[in-house]
Amino acid sequence: MTQPWTVRRLKSALAADTLQPTALAREALACANQNAGHNTYLWRDEAWTLAEAARVEKAAATCANALLWGLPVSVKDCFDLAGAPTSCGVQFYRKHNGIAAQDSGLVARLRAIGAVITGKTHLHPLAYGITGENPEFGDCVQPGHLDRLTGGSSSGAAASILEGSAVAAIGTDTGGSVRAPAALCGLAGYRSSLGRGDWHGAGHLAQSFDTMGWLFRDLEDAPILGRVFAPDSAPDARSFEQFATINPSFLNDCEPEIASAMDDIAKDLEALGLHRSSFDPGFWADSFEIYAPIQATEAARIHDGHFAQFEPAIRERLEWGARITDAELTLLRERHAEFRARADALFTSHQLLVMPASPVAVLAAGAEHSETRARLLRYTIPFSLAGVPVVTVPCTVSGMQLAAARDNDESLLKLAQALGRRRELILSS
């Protein structure tokens, strides 16, 4: 394929029999681990992937219409895959957990709908970070840009799309772990509504905020990928009539080119017939105060007894989470519930909210990033607290978040598809 892979383009080639799953898998594998650290994947087995491609190809007569038939897909290394270790980004769990005896629920679904898994991708340790730095497996830098981190925690997911070893990549998003790497790497991203997808056999970070997601190139592919997490009772997609961009006062630490890109997206939405307004995020001021301790408490319970195994920055967060009392947690959950109620009201008023996914366009590899987490999370955790679906729209610089009310995923993905079609028409005219 001479152009960058997209789901639709590959599905068409596979359906027309001009491309076979085994040949496509070989192309994908030849591109794997092409970043400077050669660590896009923390586990891969070329023979296993080629056997999977052959299995899928053999079943063409009955399965060729399956949703992801023959498509190379990477999976974040916090989901079990039978016969492989699951590291969750640390050597301790890679050894402690041993080899998985069965597929996680998500991996089983991917294989059932014809996806060919290319391997298990790099992540920030425990998925507890947003830069993609990892002292044990090496920092994840962008293929072709050895001076730029991918962002995290779904770092290898983004790298696998950039290098062409996957056409779509499974990530997770707790506080921004799909949205940040999508924006920093110029990719599309989808964070699903809280509660979607099968978490059996997956490594959680904080259950109150953990969501499944995808990284990919083409917005037009969004509805196809969204169906992987959708419940059987998913509502039909509807059209949005209005949207609101965030008040510019919030963007006081945002790079000017990124702030300008928000207006470009707004013009695209207006061209699609949506009416624009703005919203004041005043009640977001205490987002981090609510989010961070709940996240730390839940993470501490998951990793109880193992804190000493992890790097100091993460160990300190876990130790802090373990010190939070039940009474303190109860008050935090009350504040969280109030925040969600106010966010629900905001979506009732505006339907769709638009703002940058990151205030910066580049995270420099090797730079000091102790303040980066809080700076980036300021832009992403309000939607994490709300539990809502978000599509990251790639822009000339960085990316924009388009967020809708909980369980409006289908409507949001339909809108993303419309944006993608508009862009394609403009480029072809």
| Residues acting as catalytic residues | 76, 153, 177
Alpha helix segments (H runs only) across 186-325: 222-226, 256-271, 287-302, 312-323
Q: Which of 76, 95, 44 lies closest to 140 in space, CA to CA?
A: 76
133-165 per-residue burial string, b: 16 or more CB within 10 A, e: under 16: bbeebebbbbbeeeebbbbbbbbbbbbbbbbbb
Cα–Cα distance, 115 to 296 (Å, whole number): 34
Three-class DSSP category at 60: helix
Cα–Cα distance, 156 to 74 (Å, whole number): 9
Beta bridge partners of 214: 170, 190
Instruction: Write the DSSP symbol of residue 398.
Output: S
Cα–Cα distance, 135 to 73 (Å, whole number): 26
Cα–Cα distance, 181 to 186 (Å, whole number): 8
Q: What angle do CA 150, 178, 147 make, to 5 degrees?
A: 5
Q: Which of 388, 416, 405 lies closest to 195 in space, CA to CA?
A: 388
427, two tokens: 């480029």
Handedness of CA 302, 306, 310, 315 (dihedral sign): positive
Q: How many CA atoms lie within 13 A of 341 on its CB side?
A: 6
180, two tokens: 């940040």
Cα–Cα distance, 212 to 198 (Å, whole number): 9
Cα–Cα distance, 245 to 224 (Å, whole number): 27
Asked if residues 256 and 359 have their Cβ atoms less than 8 Å apart, the reply is no
301: how many CB neighbours lie within 10 A of its CB?
Answer: 14
Amino acid at 79: F
Asked if residues 376 and 130 have their Cβ atoms less than 8 Å apart, the reply is yes
